[in-house]
Amino acid sequence: MTGTLGTILLAALMLLMLYRRFKFMRMPHPVRPIGMIVRIAIMSMLGGVMLMRPWVSPPLLAGALAVGAALGGYALTRVRFEQGKRGPVYRSNSRVGTIVFALFAARLIWRMAERILHGQPPWARRMADPDAATPEQMPLTFILLFVVIGYSVCYTAGVLIRSRTPQPA
């Protein structure tokens, strides 16, 4: 089967990322404004670029963004802020982020497994096969991507805003 090793390695990498996400939840995280702003910008640009694709359904993806933002808002209510040695740190008590990421990772792993069963590498062109599913027939991956984008932007922006210490009067 062509590309099987690469697909398996990619799936293993995604499982490692999922493990790191679980491990990440247990420890305090420093608030890094520059990194958080860059993350927000990248996720927003990714969402904007994906919305410009001709086959997307903007209302469907906007709904996915709203669901992701609502989940991010809920997860933000579970965050505790503390003063660390080098500035503010936060502890995430919610497992919402891990569940959102796990759903997206599971969907990608499933799509790769389908490719392995059909003997195609994950990067093969779908349009070469006329019977292959087109993005508008299989929107679940893109819906989950937009849930992740909405969650990440809302949660990161919320942590950044809430971590600011009030200025003395």
- pLDDT of amino acid 167: 40
Question: Please, what is the angle between helix 4-25 and helix 96-118, to 10°?
Answer: 170
The greatest distance separating any two alpha carbons of the chain, rounded to the nearest whole angstrom, comes to: 68
Bridge partner residues of 129 (DSSP): none
- pLDDT of amino acid 108: 72
Q: What share of the chain is helix, strand, coil (3-state, %, to 5)?
A: 65, 10, 25
Domain borders along the chain are 4-162
Comparing CA positions, the residue from 39, 41, 37, 38 lying closest to residue 49 is 41
- pLDDT of amino acid 118: 66
CA atoms lying within 13 Å on the CB side of residue 35: 5
- pLDDT of amino acid 162: 86
* Predicted confidence pLDDT, tens digits, the chain (169 residues): 445 676 677 777 777 877 776 777 677 888 888 999 999 999 899 888 888 877 777 888 889 899 999 999 998 888 888 887 888 888 887 678 778 877 877 777 777 677 666 666 555 555 455 555 554 455 777 888 888 899 989 999 998 998 876 544 4
Q: Please state, in angstroms and rounded to a whole number, the distance separating the CA atoms of residues 50 and 56.
A: 8
| pTM for the whole structure | 0.74
Say if CB 43 and CB 69 are below 8 A apart: no
Say if CB 64 and CB 147 are below 8 A apart: yes
- pLDDT of amino acid 128: 53
